[in-house]
Amino acid sequence: MSNSPFDTASAAESNAFTLVIVSGMSGSGKSVALNTFEDLGFYCVDNLPAELLPQFVQNVIKAEEGMPTKLAVGIDVRNRHSDLANIPEWLSAVGALGADPRLVFFESSDGVLLKRYADTRRRHPLSQFGLALADAISLERQVLKPLRQIADAIVDTSELNVHQLRRHVITEFAMGGDAGMSLLFESFAYRRGVPADADFVFDARGLPNPHWNPALRPLSGRDGGVRDYLEAQADVNLYVEQISQFLDTWLPRLQADSTRSYATIAFGCTGGRHRSVYLAERMAEHARTRGWNEVAVHHRELD
């Protein structure tokens, strides 16, 4: 999927701002990627005029309090095409300001893009020129070629669904650096299968199920009502205590005995909406209190 490593270590070591430029073909998943970066704490701006990139970064750096250190900006064919050729110059200007710019280019095959547009009935950004969809895709690929050539990572999303793309962004681009092993806590529904690359899988189907409470059924494990319900159950608290002890014991050993950059801890329940979501969120919070600096959460059936 990605033909170039996306190294965040240099930014972490120099305490520079991390700037991710999200670009690529319309319909390839750029919006999903940018939303995922935002969920992971990046300050995100979509469709920023490319010429304003250095000014945007400078304004963020000059902010006195609460300034973000991780930025993600969407720049694509909606920009003036003449400006896209100047991207290398503006990335150099951004680097001179103390940021660490990386460009991620998302693409898909023409056939997949055509199908996605047919399924969603959205208009292609270049359709305003009276082009047929296939011609608009061909022109866009040509216009964006300079950006693809300088990309730090190229992601082909032809074989990825939305959930797989979100997970790929989390594990490949938004975690890591000098923080050691990163942790991804994931919730899922057993009826849709166990995540194939989970390192630890915990079954929550034996716990009390909020689904059978009509007031809680429309909610998820991220909502206060569901949390209050589950935390009032003795079995849930015992489960959390035992899983916490297990992870506190074995995650540090996994980190010490391997060169992996991240580990995935998955919690499953029947629908992937209440118990597993609650547990993924709660155990991620516990991991942060135990000193794990890079912790992300992915809810397969919700995100």
Q: Which residues are annotated as a binding site for ATP?
A: 24-31
DSSP secondary structure string for all residues of 68-90 = -SEEEEE--TTS-HHHHTTHHHH
269 φ, ψ (degrees, to nearest 5) = -140, -170
Residue 39 CA to its chain's centroid (Å)? 7
What are the strands of the beta sheet with 43-46, ordered from one edge? 43-46, 70-74, 17-24, 99-107, 153-156
CB atoms within 10 A of CB 246: 13
CB atoms within 10 A of CB 114: 15
Binding residues: 24-31, 76-79
User: Of all helices (H) and strands (E), which one includes residue 243?
Assistant: helix 234-256
What are the counts of helices (DSSP H) followed by strands (DSSP E) for the chain?
12, 9
Cβ atoms of residues 32 and 106 within 8 Å: no
Give the Cα separation of 107 and 27 in Å (integer): 8
Binding residues for GTP: 76-79
User: Of all helices (H) and strands (E), which one includes residue 62?
Assistant: helix 53-62
Cβ atoms of residues 152 and 144 within 8 Å: no
Cβ atoms of residues 48 and 75 within 8 Å: yes
Cβ atoms of residues 265 and 247 within 8 Å: yes
Closest to 166 measured CA to CA, from 187, 149, 151: 187
Q: How many residues are given for the chain?
A: 303
